[in-house]
Structure 1
Amino acid sequence: MTLNNVTSSLLSLFILDLILLLVLLAVVALLAGTKKVAYAVLKRNFVGYFGNPTGYVFLCIFVFLTSVAAFWPYEFFNQNLATLDQLNYWFPLIMLVFIPAITMSIWAEEKRQGTDELLLTLPADDFDIVIGKYMAAAAIFTASLLFSQLSTFVTLAILTEGGLDTGLIFTSYLGYWFVGLAMIAIGMIASFLTGNLTVGFILGALFNAPLAFASLADSISPNQQIAEWLASSGIARPFDDFGRGVISLSSVTYFVLVAAVALYASMVLIGRRHWTGGKDGNTMAWHYLARVLALILFTTGAVTLFRNKDIVRYDATEGKVSSLAGATKGLIQDLDSERPIVIDAFISSDVPELYARTRYELINLLKEFRSEAAKQERTIEVNLYDGIELFSEEAALAAERFGIEPVTRMVREKGSFQQKQLILGAAFRSGLEKVTVPIFEYGIPVEYELVRSINTVAHGSRKRLGIVATDARLMGGTVMDGMSMQQVEKHPLIDELAKQYEVEEVDLSGPVAPGMYDALFAVQPSSLAPDQFGRLVDAIKLGVPVAILEDPLPRVTPYVTPTGMQKQNPGSMFGGGGPMPKGEIRDLWDALEIEVPGRPGMQGLYAPDLVWQQYNPYPNLQMNIDDLWVFIKNEAPGIVDGEAFSQENEITSGLREVLSLYSGAVRAKASTTLKHTPLLLTGTESGLISMEKAMQVLQGQTTLAREVDSKSPGLAIAMAIEGEQPDATEADADTDGEPGDEVEPDLSAGLKGVKAVYISDVDLMLPVFLQIRADPSQAAEMKFQFQNVTFLLNTIDWLTGETEFIEVRKHEPIFASLKMIDSVKEKASTEVREQTKEFQDQYDATVRTAQEKMDTELKSLKEELEKLQKESADGRISRAEMQAKVQEFQTRQEREQRMLDVKQTKTQRDLERNTRDIQRVADQKVTAIQNQVKAAAVALPCIPPLIVGVIVFASRRLRERENISKSRLK
């Protein structure tokens, strides 16, 4: 299968290269038909270059340098992405060696051999000679680049098992090709200035050096604006688009115009023979210099114009890693053109492997934000401080001005766990508004964070989200835990929502009318007092959007009262107090026109049934779980065409997996007038179990299989409800009220319909799901894919009308990773876990045996001591004799305990040593594979050109000796 994937990737690259080559061949054919002399020059130089062994030596050096730059740096494997970032960084320096090696002989060799006069007397103009020479050099470079591309691509295809991004690799090499075209044209100027090959090589490197090193202008120029202008004039800025997989009009224009100006300068140099030495020689020299300067100014203006109006931009990557979601582009379009936004992003030079993908995505998206804003005439200024040191001035600026400080993360790199500090944050400003993201955690969508922050500072106001104060204590507080008070921290989901909304707690002490809040968030509303509960139901009827999480069994949050159980009065610290009244949950169900399967419970309450499903997509996750853990996933048994998640509603469209714990079910009433959309559905291997039997199962008194005798496929755990109720127009409310105001409802105008989401599970929003989302390595072995947090955020955004954020969350770029290395690491980790477990079992057995031996040896002595104690009580032995025996027992016990402690310490030390040894061996295996890849990637591509070069050398030698007598060969 892997071989097929590699072959398929190679075929895709071959097709792209073939299309490009056909276009180039069409240009050559056109040249051959219209400019015969130019074509003859092209053919002569191209054949001459590859008919000489020296050409293959240079080709070998070029392939060697590109392979070393691409695969040898430690960052390549540390980043674990199938990109050419390292080669992109070193490529300008490689070109400073390779391009002059091609261009130095373009004209200097003609002068040295005296064949320049022959070329100049041909029936052709100067353009034919220059363009023929240029296209010959371009053809030589193209052939070299294609060979380098093939070797690099094969290496990446093997490392990714055929899963690499062909579009990204092709576009990167297309960028290399454009860089080469521009540098070849500049190198030709150097060749036309001298007849010495060495001088031509040196001048070619010197003339190209300013463009190659322009990106370092900030280190030599104290003026930030001048440094920025110089940096943008080099090849690094326009090539950056190609390196990220984007083909842009501004980048293509830059390289084409630079090459055109340099070619015109070459034509001026070759044509100076017509006017040099004449009476108007100096005048003509100034005239042509003015022309060249005018062309340079035109090129600068054109490049600036296209860069600021970069209309055409195409993301050629297969994973769309360098493009913005449609909703993001729409948000940029809606920005106020008179309200500029400034983004200051700070990224440290040393970023752990876990954050490498986040860093890559962040840089890509920030640059795309800048380009998209320029195209739509919106002002988004991006100050990207990439590769900064922790002690640098930029790091000090980030800390002092924006509060972005280095964070410490425990990571495993180079065979050991290390505390590493990194900076990966951004600040967003617009007017007086400011939002800071201290760190982009690697599990959180980067584009969503950027869009949310930009939207917040751009509009200066946020929609209001009311958190209903229930027993869930989302805003934090204290609860009774037995006879003591327990402090409950603010739920981390509130902090997540506060980044986008103005979050307020609502105690429902007064009516809530439409317009007071954009949405309410009620978790376990059945725990509310009857009057508070009634106000929540009234708000729903009046059209206030509400997200409701009502759980029949909040298993992980025991201080939250289940739906069918009485709410206990906390009483005093000495106990006491009876049940407290709470809301009638069935009133809420009637308002939403839904039914919750269940049965009457105690004290007139209603106890919903629990949902079970026989499906576990994580075989390694077996302990402490049961079939009441409901994995909502399209791969669940009986799910067809992605029915687990509703594709009709924006909340769940595109979701892949949600985990629900001990949840209930919900369905629409048969006579409903509202629109009900099931959001989360189980498969066919699912059903319901009563609360009473479920508790017996959880307490180990019975099993689920014994208590369940039927299935209920396709149960809905969440439901979206919207529409007009028949009696809605009869209600009244004050639309201008404030939270807590005692007002009489008055809805004489513009009553909204019901809009709510009912979720029959509270444990679905456990803090652990936010932790896994931000830091997936917490459960790296399981590789959880839970999207509980995304589901909840989508729910709130749907209720408040912020649906563009839902679309942004759906845009997930696909990155190609080094699967071969990942598999080696995974195999090594599995071996480490298995062997560590064996050593741990041996340690436990050894300690247990030593403990049992000590207990056995002390048992007889202890029995004898007990017997003497009885005899001492009867007066049959003396007190001194008894004390001596006790002392003997204590001494023996202390000795045995010391021996046990020594045994435990030694065994523990052996366990730690063995663990280190097996981890070291595993790391050595991974490093060995990486070194083998490096050696193969660097050495193997050099063999074919060397072999061809040897063959060419041998054939030339044979041809030279054919007509020479044997006597002269001696």
Structure 2
Amino acid sequence: MALDNVTSALISLLIMDLVFLLVLVAVVALLAGTKKAAFAVMKRNFVGYFSNPTGYVFLCIFVFLTSVAAFWPYEFFNSNLATLDQLNYWYPLIMLVFIPAITMSIWAEEKRQGTDELLLTLPADDFDIVIGKYMSAAAIFTASLLFSQLSTFTTLAILTQGGLDTGLIFTTYLGYWFVGLTMIAIGMIASFLTGNLTVGFILGALFNAPLAFASLADSISPNRAIAQWIAGSGIARPFDDFGRGVISSSSVIYFILVAAVALYVCMILIGRRHWTGGKDGSGMVWHYLARTLALVVFTVGAVLAFRNQDVVRHDATEGKVSSLAGATKDLIQNLDADRPIVVDAFISSDVPELYAKTRYELINLLKEFRSEASKRGRTIEVNLYDGIELFSEEAALAAERFGIEPVERMVREKGAFQQKQFILGAAFKSGLQKVTVPIFEYGIPTEYELVRSINTVASGAKKRLGLVTTDARLMGGVVTAGMQMQRVEKHPLVDELSKQYEVEEVDMNSPVTPGMFDVLVAVQPSSLSPPQFERFVDAVKAGVPTAIFEDPLPVGRSYITPTGRPKQGGGGMAAMFGGGQQEPKGDIRQLWDVLELDVPGQPNMNQLYDSKLAWQAHNPYPNLAESANELWVFIDENQQGLREGDAMNDESRITSGLSQVLAIMPGVVDGKSESSLNHIPLMSTGENSGSLSYTEVEQALNTRQPISQLINSVQPGRHIAIAIEGKGGDEGDDADDQGDAESTDDDQADAKDHPIRAVYVADTDLMLPDFLLIRADPNAAQDVRFQFQNVTFILNAIDWLADQTQFIDVRNHEPIFASLKMIDSVKDQAMGDVRLRSKEFQNDYDAAVREAEEKMQSEIQSLQKEIEKLTKQSQDGKIPTSVLREKQTTFAMMQEAQQRALAVKTQKFERQRDKKVQEIERLADQKVTEIQNKVKTAAVVLPCIPPLVIGVIVFASRRLRERETITKARLK
């Protein structure tokens, strides 16, 4: 399968190359038909180059250097991305060697051999000579580049098992081609100035050096504005689009104009024979100099005009890694044109492998934000501080001005776990508004973080979100747990929501009417007191958008009262003095009636209601088999037997694009059969699923009975979450008349104008803080990579209620990055061996310790029996007490000695176990390194063989032809 994928990728690239070559052939055919002399010059130089072994030597050097630059740096395998970032960095330097090697002989060799005069006597004008020479050099470079492309692509195709981004590689090499064509035109100027090949090579490198090194201007210019202008004048910025897979008109125009200016200078240099030496010679020099300067000024102006005004800008990557979501473009379009946004992004030079994709995506998106804003007449100024050191001035600026400081993460690199510090943050500012993202976690969509931050500083105001104060204590506080008071920290979800909303706590001691909050979030609202609960129900009935999380059996936070259980109050000191009695709580059935929900279950003796719990026999993570049971409900789109959209409703904006959510011991909910509201199922269980009563689940958990023994019937398609929209029926009219005295006629009028809009989730455990940690770091567990999208579901639900669906679209826009699957498979296999062998070592350690303990017990057992016998005799008065004490002292000393010996043995076994584990880890890392080194060697050596072989054949063929014209007598 992998070989088929590699072949398919190669065929795809060859088709792109064929189309590209056909365009070039069409241009050459047009030249051959209209400019025969130019075509003759081109053909002569092209054939002459590849008829000489020296040409193949330079081709070999070019392929060698590109392969070394692409695959040899440590950063290539550390990033684990199938890109050519390392080659992009070194490519200008390689061109400073290769391009002068092509151009140095274009005219200098003609002068050295004296054939320039003969060439100028042809029936052709100066343009024919210059364009013929230029196209021959371009053809030589194109052939060399195609060979390099095929060798590089083959290596990447093997490393990715055919899963690389063909569009990205083709576009990158298209950028290399434009860079080469521009540098060839400049290098030709050097060749027209001298008749010495060595001088031509040196001058060609010198003339191209300013464009190649312009990107380093910030290291020599203290003025950042000037440095940025100089850097933008070099080839790095226009090439950057191609290197990211984007074909932009501004980049193409840059290369064409610079090449045109250089070719015009070549025309002047070859045509100077017509006017030098005459009486107007000096005047003509100034005339053509003025022309050239005017053309340079025009070129600079055109480049600046088109730099951020792309008529055409196309992301050619297959994974759309350099594209913005439609919602993002709409956001940029709606920005205030008179209110610029400044983004300062700080990225350290050494970023861990886990964050390499995030770094790549962040840089890509920031540049696309800048381009998109400029195209739409908006201003997003991006100050990108990339590759900074932790103790540099830029790092100090990030910390002092924006509070972006190095973060520390435990990572495994180069065969060892280590704490690594790095910077990967950004600050957003517009007017007086400011937002800082101190770290872009690699599990959180980067585009979403950027859009949310830009929207916040651009709008100048956030929508209001009210967190209802319940037992869940999302804002933190003190709760009663058993007989003690417990301090609860603020839920990390609050910090996440605060990035987008103005989050406020709502105690429901007064009515909440439409317009006060854009959305309410209530976690376990049944724990509210009856008056508070009635006000909450009135708010929902009045049309306040509300996200409701009601759990029949909360697991992760024991202080949350289950739906059907009475609320205990007066813990701590009150319980010690006879307190701790039950507190009244709301009747959740009132809310269900308003939302017209059907929740299966039964009333209990506390005059409350026990909801049924959902179960499902599906676990996509075998490593969780020991801790998870059927009450861990994995809402999984990839579950066998389900069609797309069965588990996650793909027609809802909330769940469209989601694939997996984990609900722990959730309830079951559905809409009533005859309902005036529109009930939209969001998450449902699969084929092998159903529901169990609260009582039998509680008994099973208390007695440690397997949940599977309770299952006696299957009821697939049980809903865990549901969205509710529409205007309710007349059921609540009487209740309104008898309700809270604080309600007014205006409130009742508002209720008619605002239809009910709510999301009901029969679980609170899906918002455990652990899921936010997993979202930030999906590799947090050593043996498994979780795919839970719990946090995304919660944010989508809240955004849907707040009518901020653009953020949902941005979250769903996930670019596809090609990774080095071959290396990943080797790593996974190696780590699998490490886990297996480590478990074996642990078992050996446990057995050795157990054996040592048994031996110790057997050695002291006889003495212990003797002491028991003496104790009995001492009690009967048969032996003196002193004898017993002596024996007890001896036993204690012996037991202590045995314990010390056991501790020594245990430490020895631990050292042996740890040493074996370290050895197997070292061997695993060594195996990965060996594969990487083999890939490096093959990628560098193998591409050099074909041009060397052809060069030897050409050399031998030339020698044979030379010997044919020499008499045998002279050969002797």
TM-score between both structures, scaled by the size of structure 2 = 0.98
In the alignment, is residue 111 of structure 1 matched against residue 114 of structure 2?
no
> Secondary structure of 1:474's match?
coil
Q: Any conservation in 1 of the 2:653–2:800 contact (CA below 8 Å)?
A: yes
Of the three residues 560, 581, 589, the one matched with 1:586 is 589
Pick one of 741, 746, 767 that aligns with 2:769: 767
AA aligned opposite 2:871: Q
The answer to whether the 8 A contact 2:630-2:708 is kept is: no
**Equivalent residues of 1:241, 1:248 under 8 A apart:** yes
Say if 2:713 is the partner of 1:710. Answer: yes
Residues 496-645 of structure 1 mapped to structure 2, 5 A cutoff: 496-571=496-571, 572-574=574-576, 575-645=578-648
Q: 1:134 to 1:780 in 2, by over 3 A?
A: farther
Unpaired runs of 5+ in structure 2? Answer: none
Matched residue type, 2:162: G
SS in 1 for 2:818: coil
Aligned AA for 1:309?
A: Q
Q: Deviation of residue 698 (structure 1)?
A: 2.5
What residue is the counterpart of 1:736 in the other structure?
A: none
Mapped to 2, the partners of 1:699 and 1:253 lie a distance apart of 74
How far off its partner does 1:730 sit? Answer: 7.5
In the alignment, which residue of structure 2 is the partner of 1:895?
897
> Equivalent residue for 1:692?
695
The aligned runs of 1:261-340 (5 Å cut-off) are: 261-340=261-340
Cα offsets for 1:700-725 (capped at 9, x unmatched): 46444433222111111110111122
Distance 1:712 1:49 in 2: 77
Q: 1:265 to 1:776 in 2, by over 3 A?
A: same
Query: 2:735, 2:556 → 1: CA distance?
Result: 40
Q: Which letter maps to 2:674?
A: S
Q: What is the distance in 2 between the residues matched to 1:769 and 1:18?
A: 49
For the residue of structure 2 that corresponds to 1:632, the secondary structure is: strand
Superposed displacement of residue 671, structure 1: 1.2
Question: How big is the shift at 1:442?
Answer: 1.1
Partners of 1:859 and 1:456 in 2: CA distance: 74
* 2:871 paired residue number: 869
Provide the C-alpha distance between the structure 1 equivalents of 2:912 and 2:539, rounded to a whole number of angstroms. 66
Matched to 1:618, the amino acid is Y
Alpha-carbon distance change, 881 to 754 in structure 1, aligned in 2, over 3 angstroms: same
Identity percentage of aligned residues: 70
| C-alpha distance in 2 between matches for 1:874 and 1:783 | 68
The more displaced of 200-209 and 589-598 is 589-598
* Mapped contact 2:594–2:732 kept (Cα < 8 A): no
Bigger drift between 593-602 and 525-534 goes to 593-602
The question of 1:680 aligning with 2:672 is answered: no
- 2:743 equivalent to 1:722: no
Mapped contact 2:636–2:659 kept (Cα < 8 A) = yes
- Residues 410-430 of structure 1 show CA distances to partners (whole Å, capped at 9, x for unaligned) of 111111111111011111111
Q: Which residue of 2 aligns with 1:953?
A: 955
Equivalence for 2:936? 934
Aligned to 2:178: 178
- Quick check: 1:457 aligned with 2:460? no
CA contact (8 A) 1:97 1:205 kept: yes
Looking at structure 2, the residues matched to 377 and 913 of structure 1 have their Cα atoms a distance apart, in angstroms, of 63
Distance in 2 between residues matched to 1:122 and 1:333, nearest whole Å: 58
Alpha-carbon distance in 2 for matches of 1:538, 1:878: 85
| 2:827 alignment partner in structure 1 | 825
CA contact (8 A) 1:462 1:500 kept: yes
Report the CA distance between 1:652 and its aligned residue: 0.5
* 8 Å Cα contact 1:510/1:743 also seen in 2: no
Match of 1:408 in 2: 408
Distance in structure 2 (CA, Å) of the matches to 1:613 and 1:635: 14
Task: Measure how far apart 1:868 and its partner are.
Answer: 1.6
Structure 1 Cα separation of the partners of residues 703 and 270 of structure 2:
95
Match of 2:671 in 1: 668
Q: Deviation digits for residues 652-694 of structure 1, max 9, x if unmatched?
A: 0111111111111111111111111100011111111111122
Distance 1:406 1:230 in 2: 30
Partners of 1:81 and 1:10 lie apart in 2 by 18
Q: CA deviation at 1:884?
A: 2.1
Deviation, 1:637, is 3.7
**SS, match of residue 371 in structure 1:** helix
Distance 1:282 1:732 in 2: 102
Distance 1:56 1:274 in 2: 37
Q: Distance in 2 between matches of 1:261 and 1:87?
A: 28
Q: Matched residues in 2 for 1:784 and 1:452: separation? A: 25
Return the letter of the residue paired with 2:602.
R
- State the shift of 1:624 in Å: 1.3
The amino acid of 1:803's aligned partner reads: T
Moved more, 870-879 or 832-841: 870-879
Give yes or no for contact 1:731–1:746 (8 Å, CA) kept in 2.
Answer: no
Q: Is the 8 A contact 1:865 1:886 kept in 2?
A: yes
Q: In the aligned structure 1, how far is the partner of 2:709 from the partner of 2:881?
A: 64
Where does residue 657 of structure 1 map in the other structure? 660
Distance 2:28 2:742 in 1: 81
Among 749, 753, 757, the alignment partner of 1:755 is 757
Please give the alpha-carbon distance, in whole angstroms, between the structure 2 residues aligned to 1:772 and 1:212: 43
Is residue 234 of structure 1 aligned with residue 234 of structure 2? yes
Structure 1 distance, partners of 2:397, 2:261, is: 41
Q: Give the C-alpha shift of residue 888 in structure 1.
A: 1.4
CA distance in 2, matches of 1:850, 1:705: 39
- The change in CA–CA distance for 1:709 and 1:732 in structure 2 (over 3 A counts) is closer
Cα displacement (A) at 1:882 = 2.5
CA positional deviation for 1:744: 6.7
In structure 2, what residue type is equivalent to 1:543?
G
Q: Deviations over 1:589-618 (max 9, x none)?
A: 111111111122222221111111111111
Amino acid at match of 1:746: D
In the alignment, the residues of structure 2 paired with residue 743 and residue 380 of structure 1 have an alpha-carbon distance, to the nearest angstrom, of 48
Paired AA for residue 634 in structure 1:
E
Q: Which residue matches 1:246?
A: 246
Equivalenced residue count is 964
On the 8 A contact 1:441/1:775 being kept in 2, the answer is yes
Letter in 2 for 1:366: L
Quote the residue 2:129 is aligned against: 129
For residues 503 and 965 of structure 2, what CA distance do their matches in structure 1 show?
94
The Cα offsets for residues 70-94 of structure 1, whole Å up to 9 and x where unpaired, read as 0000000011100000000000000
Q: 1:730-753: CA deviations, max 9, x gaps?
A: 8999xxxxxx99877535467111
Aligned residue in 2 for 1:159: 159
Cα distance in 1 for partners of 2:517, 2:15 equals 56
Distance 2:698 2:770 in 1: 24
Answer yes or no: is the 8 Å Cα contact 1:480–1:559 preserved in 2.
yes
Q: How far is the alpha carbon of 1:53 from its aligned partner?
A: 0.6
How far apart, in 1, do the equivalents of 2:480 and 2:261 lie? Answer: 80
Residue 788 of structure 1: which of 786, 790, 805 is its match?
A: 790
Deviation at residue 191 of structure 1 after TM alignment: 0.2
Mapped contact 2:779–2:786 kept (Cα < 8 A): no
Question: Secondary structure at 1:552's aligned position in 2?
Answer: coil
Q: What is the rounded CA distance, in whole Å, between the counterparts of 2:682 and 2:598 in structure 1?
A: 15
Task: Flag structure 1 segments of 5+ consecutive residues without an equivalent.
Answer: 734-739
Tell me, yes or no, if the aligned pair for 2:64 and 2:944 is still in contact at 8 Å.
yes
Q: Does 1:141 align with 2:141?
A: yes
Distance (whole Å) between structure 2 residues aligned to residue 15 and residue 696 of structure 1: 66
SS at match of 2:779: helix
Instruction: Indicate the larger mover: 724-733 or 379-388.
Output: 724-733
The answer as to whether partners of 2:481 and 2:558 remain within 8 angstroms in 1 is no
| Correspondence for 1:737 | none
| Residue aligned with 1:604, SS | coil
**Structure 2 Cα separation of the partners of residues 79 and 596 of structure 1:** 50
How far is 1:18 from its partner?
A: 0.7
